[in-house]
Structure 1
Amino acid sequence: MPRATAYRPRPLRSAAVGALALALLAGATGAAASEPRPEPVRPAADDGWSAARAAAYWTPQRMAAAQPVDGPPAPRSQEAAAPAAGTAGAPGVGRDFGGLPQIGRMYLMRGTGAYFCTASVIASPRRSLVLTAGHCLDGGSRDQQLAFVPQYTQARPQPHGVFPVLRSGGANRIWIDPRYRSLGHDRAAGLDVAFVEVARNAAGRRVQDAVGADRLLLHPGYAHKSVRLIGHPGNKPVPRTCTNATSRFTSTDRGIPGSFLRIDCTGYPGGTSGGPFLAHYDPATRTGDVIGIIGGYKTGGTSPDTSFSPYFGQDIARLFALATAPVRS
């Protein structure tokens, strides 16, 4: 198994692509035609979708009324049995809390409906990258008015401002492996990842400078003793946190091939898709290493008490390399 590698930016510097990203770019040059390709042009600053417009559009009322992209949870399945009930704060027992600055909601309009998923800031050279689940943002041109709102709660809906998703040539700056769309959510469940580039907020700050960022950990392995799971449930005014061990889950369904991370944490229904699995969480910096996101197997699972993640192996490494590649001028 390849060694785990994390992207670690230089402190307080906006600068060049890190060594990991460079290595991944080199590995991506021989990728097959069906795999993701770099963006060919430099994006416009906002393509008319500015931070001021996004903040005015996503009012507290519209955000509170938004529905989870992934919908309410389905009935519990046998392969995802919930852990026994316990005391809040105990392993596997979720609790509501005030959130972390680098984790929030990704909002979008699809038709006349307002929707959201959970998303988090990932350390990157341009300090503007957000991670969520691919199934949250695979609507293509149907998805409009996209914006990231870190540490959203109903009581404080825009504590750090609103960061509109960048647009280039009329398209949102989103990286999803094209095989996820062509093969579908089940057959390509292991590719259920989206990287999103966001513009500065109305105060002119880049998202990583405003709220910090977690590190993306590639090839992390499956078994971790202590992982923190954070998500924004659609039925709650605040986010949810839980800590438990992760394990490897290998699907026996031929229609959903592959192995996935699994964690048992109570109370993660629709809305939590895209929520990060945080390993090596440091209470002093309030950051950690993202080893997964709620998604993948059955787009994250059929029980609100058991969540899955695609494995962050070479396919996700290649996608991250493309999302962090230098932009052509």
Structure 2
Amino acid sequence: MTPTPAQPSHPPVSPTSSGGGPSLSEEEKYWTATRMDNAVPIDSPPGRTPAASAPLIGPRSTPPAGTPRPEHFGGHPMVGTFFYDGRPLGGKSTYCTGSVVHTAAHDIVLTAGHCGRGLQRATHRIFVPQYRDGLSAANQPRGVFPVSQMYIDPRYAANTKKPTSDLDLAFAQVGPNSRGKVEDVTGALTFTPTTKFTHKVTVIGYPSSEGVNAKHQAIRCPVTTSRLPGYRQVRMACTGFYGGVSGGPWIEDYDRTTGTGKVVGNTGGYNGGGNDANDDWVTYAPIYGKDAKALFNEAAAHRTVGARPPYQPSTDRPLLPGSAGTWQHTGLLASGDFRHTGHSDMIVVWTDGEVTLRPGNGQGGLDPERHLWPPTAPGRTREPSRPAASPDPTSST
């Protein structure tokens, strides 16, 4: 979920074919239990792994009180892992999470775009439904499915923080195994475009097996999403989402028994799916608009990925309230979930010594500011449009 160093962007491409690539039997021989067990997450290095396993980029903060913890469980057939040989990571085999989505062809698996870029460059590449640690490819309970083609929006660049991070999804077409086509073997989720940012979902993934998940089990966490301001993405808070969860489905109307439901997002997006501090409890996902729907249609029909116009980002990017003149009087700014509500707030220390809080409203904006500390010196003139801050009822001042 937290990115590798940025990979170079790629020109528009047709789906890459495995014509002449390894056969199913060759893949089953190549992917031994040891090779899969030693694979590293697409998100490493450095990545969203415990400090004992790999360094973090930046400080790691403590999750707010009440942040949910995930449940380790046996997984579902339609959610699994991709493994591929590791040219992107200097020879190491790599893995990430994927989920089967329903199509008429019964052979399409959803993942993150930054995982798809690695699969695109690989020679040996498989999807393993409901992966079981310690078993070879040939002995996995539902077998493995060789990847034959990748469908990725040509405007997407891996692990960017730019607006095109909204396009961090990919589809893999996989070949059948001895049991049949993948959807016939596993069942499928329903790919579901949406314009909403608030969803009750269950997020599933296969986090790093080092330190926190020794048996490489699947995890799931029921959460309510909110918008990642300025992007066509949602965020959620739940601990334990370390490297390897990239591409995992965010499932609405989830059935805990069957695993079925509507997939409205996948782990990924801004910075590969996590915040700048690499906090394991902050996770992002793109939601599926017209661009994602177009890519899905191409994958479902096995069509060449078509040319795209320049990406049109969200037009309601967040702005600081007030004019530039007001914000010239700031001494310090800090953002964070200071009230433990799951929303990002903003604290401002002004040049006259006053301290104010602007609570996040959970919709990408900020509520009116609250007074935390009175001015101690002259140096700031309030605008007529910016009245004095109201007292914060939670403040001791």
- Among 198, 204, 210, which residue is 2:185 paired with? 210
SS of equivalent residue, structure 2 residue 36: helix
- Cα distance in 1, alignment partners of residues 126 and 142 from structure 2: 13
Corresponding residue of 1:163:
145
Distance 1:191 1:209, change over 3 A: same
What 5-or-longer segments of structure 2 have no aligned partner?
Answer: 1-9, 49-55, 305-397
Q: TM-score, normalised by structure 1?
A: 0.75
TM-superposition CA deviations, 1:308-329 (whole Å, max 9, x none): 011211111111111112569x
Paired residue for 1:9?
A: none
| Structure 2 CA distance for partners of 1:200 and 1:313, relative to 1, 3 Å | same
Q: Deviations over 1:234-287 (max 9, x none)?
A: 122211111111111114xxxxxx231111111001000111101011245320
- Comparing 297-306 and 125-134, the one that deviates more: 297-306
Q: Secondary structure at the match of 1:179?
A: coil
- Cross-structure match for 1:246: 225
Cα contact 2:116–2:171 (8 A) shared by 1? no
How far residue 155 of structure 1 moved from its aligned partner, in angstroms, is 4.8
Q: How many angstroms apart in 1 are the aligned matches of 2:134 and 2:37?
A: 10
- Pick the structure with more strand per residue: 1
Residue 254 of structure 2 corresponds to 281
Unmatched 5+ stretches in structure 1: 1-33, 87-91, 167-172, 252-257
- Tell me which residue corresponds to 2:126: 147
SS of 2:155's partner is helix
Deviates more, 1:209-218 or 1:48-57: 48-57
Report the counterpart of residue 96 of structure 1 in structure 2.
Answer: 72
1:135 aligned residue: 114
The residue type paired with residue 82 of structure 1 is P
Residue 83 of structure 1 deviates from its aligned partner by 3.9
Aligned to 2:332: none
- Residue identity over aligned pairs, in percent, reads 35
Mapping of 1:36-47 within 5 angstroms? 47=20
CA distance, structure 1, for counterparts of residue 62 and residue 264 of structure 2: 22
Deviations 1:135-165 (A, max 9, x none): 1121476422010001012155611101000
Quote the offset at 1:69 in angstroms.
Answer: 0.8
Q: Relative to structure 1, is the Cα distance of residues 67 and 132 closer, same or farther in structure 2, using a 3 angstrom cutoff?
A: same
- How much does 1:296 deviate? 0.1
Q: Which has the higher contact order (CA 8 A, sep 6+)?
A: 1
Give the Å deviation of 1:59. Answer: 1.1
Tell me how far 1:67 sits from its aligned partner: 0.2
Distance 1:184 1:283, change over 3 A: closer
Distance 1:326 1:174 in 2: 10
Which residue among 235, 238, 244 is the counterpart of 1:265? 238
Given the superposition, is the C-alpha separation of residues 67 and 124 from structure 1 closer, same or farther in structure 2, using an over 3 Å criterion? same
Which whole-Å CA distance do the structure 2 matches of 1:143 and 1:321 have between them? 24
* Aligned counterparts, 1:107-118, within 5 A: 107-111=83-87, 112-118=91-97
TM-score in terms of structure 2 length:
0.63
Match of 1:232 in 2: 206
